[in-house]
Amino acid sequence: MVRDLTGVELFRPSVHMVRMDTPITPTIPFDNSYARLPERFFSRVNPTPVAAPQLIRVNEPLARDLGIDPAALASPEGIAMLAGNRIAEGSDPIAMAYAGHQFGNFVPQLGDGRAILIGEVLDTHGIRRDIHLKGAGRTPYSRMGDGRAALGPVLREYIVSEAFAALGIPTTRALAAVTTGDWVLREEPLPGAVLARVASSHIRVGTFQFFAARKDTEAIRTLADYAIARHYPDLTDRPEKYRDFLSAVIARQGELIAKWMYVGFIHGVMNTDNCAITGETIDFGPCAFMDTYHPSTVFSSIDHAGRYAFASQPAIANWNLVRFAETLLPILGDTQEQAIAAAQERIDAYPAVFQAAITDGYAAKLGIENKSSDDTTLIQDFLTVMANGAADYTLSFRTLSDAAEDPAKEAGLSALFSEAAGLDAWLLRWRQRLATDARAPRDIAAAMRAVNPVIIPRNHQVEAAIKAAVGTGDFAPFHRLVDELAKPFDDRPGIDDLKLPPKPDEIVRATFCGT
C-alpha cells in the first residue's frame, strides 16, 4: 500500500495475476556476460530496498518467453526481487557507465542513475536479454538524483512499450511493475514504483561515447567486439567488421525511426544515451502518439526549441549516428584519413536506408503493393492534406483502409478533416493507383488493416489511466489499456472509446520526463 505523508492509506494496487496457494521462489537462469567485461564498463551496486512492495502486473507471456515462471514472479519472493529488496540467485547487479549528448550538449558521464541491470538470460529462442530494474535506487551515476521512479512514468512505459511490441516495432519490453510503498519527490510527492524492463541489451551510442571521451581505444574495441558478438554475430569474422558494424547499426536505426514515423510516434528525448545500438526503442519518458497530424508536433515539456519534433526525428537519428561513427574512428582505419572516409561513406548511406524504409511503410499503409517512382508524391500529398485539414493521424489511415473496400466509407474519412480541400482530388489519384493492383479490394483493405492500427496508446487515455492509479489506486484502466493494446489491428466490440481522439478538454499538450 502507499500512504500519504500523514500515514493515511491512499491505495492498494490491484494485482493482475492468478492467485497462488503457496509461495514460489523464482528461478531465473542468469548468465551475465556484460558483468564479465572490464570493471570500468560499470559499477557493481545493489538495488536499494523499498518499504512495502506490491505487485501491479506481471507480463506473463514475456516471462514465459524468458524461461521464468510468471507465478514465481508474483510470489512474495518474486515481488521482493522485482522491487530490489532481494537479490536473486545468479544475479550480479551493475549500473552501466555511459555518456551522451543531451539536447545537443555533451555530458561525459551519465550512466545508469536510477536503473540497475540485475542480469541477463537466454530466452527460449536462444536470444540473450537484459533484465533491468528502473527506479531501483541511487547508483554512482545518480548525479544528485534520488534513483527512484514515480508510479506515473512506470505505468506510461509499461503501456507504451508493450503497445510497441504489439505494433511490431523493436522495443524494450515491460516484464513487471511494482509499487514501492515509498514517496518520490518531483514537483510534488508521488507514489514510487519500479519497472522491470527487458532489452536485447542496454548498450547505447552513449556507451561508446563514454570511452571515446576518455580516449580509451582499448575499451572501444572491446565494447565493439562484445556488441558484434552479441547482436551482429554474422559480422564477427569479416575483415572489415567494425565498418560493417557501423553500417548495421545505421540500417537498424533507419528502419526503427521509419516505424516510429508511420505510427505517428514522437519519442521526445532522442539523446545519444537513448539511442540503442540494437535498433530497439529505449526510454519512454515524455513520449507521445500524435492525434491531430502535423509534422512539427512536439509534446515534451523540456523540448522548448522543438529539437525532437515529429518530422525532425529522421535527421536527429542521423545526427546521433554521426556521433556514433566518431566514437569508432580509432578502429575504422589504419590512418585517420582512412577512418574518416570509411565512416563518411557509411553515414552517407543513412538517408537512402531511411527513405526506403519509410516509403515501404507508407506504401503499405496506403495499400500499395508494388511501388513506383510516383508513390512518394502520392504519400507526401496525403500527409499534406491531413496536416492542412487537422485530421487525426491514426483514424485517417484506418478509415482509408475501410474505404479501400467500400467507397462509401470516404464520407467517414472526410468527416475527420476540418478542411477537406484537396482530399477528393487525392482520393481519385489513390483509387487510380489501386486500380493497377491485381488484388481484389477486399484483399487490399485487409492488407491495409494489418498495418494501420485501429487503436494506439492515445495520450489522454494513458494520462487517465495514470491519474486513476495515482489518485485513487484504481488500476483497472491501466490493465484494460495493456490488454486491449495487445491487439492493435483488430477491430472488435468494446473498444469504441479507445478509438476516439480526445475531446477539447481531454487534449494532452505536454508530456514529462520521469526525473
| Tens of pLDDT, residues 312-344 | 999 999 999 999 999 999 999 999 999 999 999
**pLDDT tens across 139-148, in order?**
999 988 899 9
- State mean pLDDT over 382-405: 97
Backbone CA torsion sign across 82, 86, 89, 94: positive
Are 191 and 179 in contact, with CB atoms under 8 Å apart?
yes
Share of residues in the chain with pLDDT > 70 (%): 95
Residue 41 pLDDT level (bands cut at 50, 70, 90): very high
Reply yes or no on whether the pLDDT at 232 is more than 90: yes
Q: What whole-number distance in Å separates Cα of residue 161 and Cα of residue 499?
A: 19
Reply yes or no on whether the pLDDT at 7 is more than 70: no
Closest C-alpha among 315, 211, 311, 298 to residue 253: 315
- Please give the pLDDT value at position 420: 87
Are 279 and 164 in contact, with CB atoms under 8 Å apart?
no
Reply yes or no on whether the pLDDT at 249 is more than 80: yes
Are 100 and 271 in contact, with CB atoms under 8 Å apart?
yes
Q: Which of 146, 182, 273, 402 is flagged as catalytic? A: 273
- State mean pLDDT over 29-45: 97
At residue 95, φ and ψ (nearest 5 deg) are -110, 125
Share of residues in the chain with pLDDT > 90 (%): 89
More confident residue, 9 or 125: 125
- State mean pLDDT over 411-439: 95
pTM above 0.75, yes or no: yes
Q: What whole-number distance in Å separates Cα of residue 454 and Cα of residue 365?
A: 12
Are 90 and 28 in contact, with CB atoms under 8 Å apart?
yes
- Please give the pLDDT value at position 4: 43
Reply yes or no on whether the pLDDT at 16 is more than 60: no
**pLDDT tens across 268-314, in order?**
999 999 999 999 999 998 999 999 999 999 999 889 889 999 999 99
Lookup result for grid cell 468527416: 415
Closest C-alpha among 278, 263, 268 to residue 156: 268
- Please give the pLDDT value at position 18: 39
Reply yes or no on whether the pLDDT at 502 is more than 90: yes
Reply yes or no on whether the pLDDT at 109 is more than 50: yes
More confident residue, 108 or 513: 108
- Please give the pLDDT value at position 513: 74
Residue 1 pLDDT level (bands cut at 50, 70, 90): very low
Q: What whole-number distance in Å separates Cα of residue 155 and Cα of residue 174?
A: 10
Q: Any catalytic annotation for residue 273?
A: yes
Cα angle for residues 197, 201, 202 (degrees, 5° grid): 75
Reply yes or no on whether the pLDDT at 3 is more than 60: no
**pLDDT tens across 491-501, in order?**
999 999 999 99
Are 221 and 331 in contact, with CB atoms under 8 Å apart?
yes
Q: What whole-number distance in Å separates Cα of residue 366 and Cα of residue 344?
A: 34
**pLDDT tens across 457-479, in order?**
999 999 999 999 999 999 999 99
At residue 476, φ and ψ (nearest 5 deg) are -60, -45
* HEC assignment per residue over 336-356: HHHHHHHHHHHHCCHHHHHHH
Are 85 and 192 in contact, with CB atoms under 8 Å apart?
no
Task: Determine how β-strand 9-11 pairs with β-strand 2-3.
Answer: antiparallel
The amino acid sitting at 166 is A
Residue 24 pLDDT level (bands cut at 50, 70, 90): low
**And the C-alpha cell for 38?**
572490464
Write the DSSP symbol of residue 493: T
Are 35 and 80 in contact, with CB atoms under 8 Å apart?
no
- Please give the pLDDT value at position 515: 64
**And the C-alpha cell for 310?**
515529429
Collapsed DSSP state (helix, strand, coil) of residue 196: strand
- State mean pLDDT over 11-25: 48
Residue 373 pLDDT level (bands cut at 50, 70, 90): confident
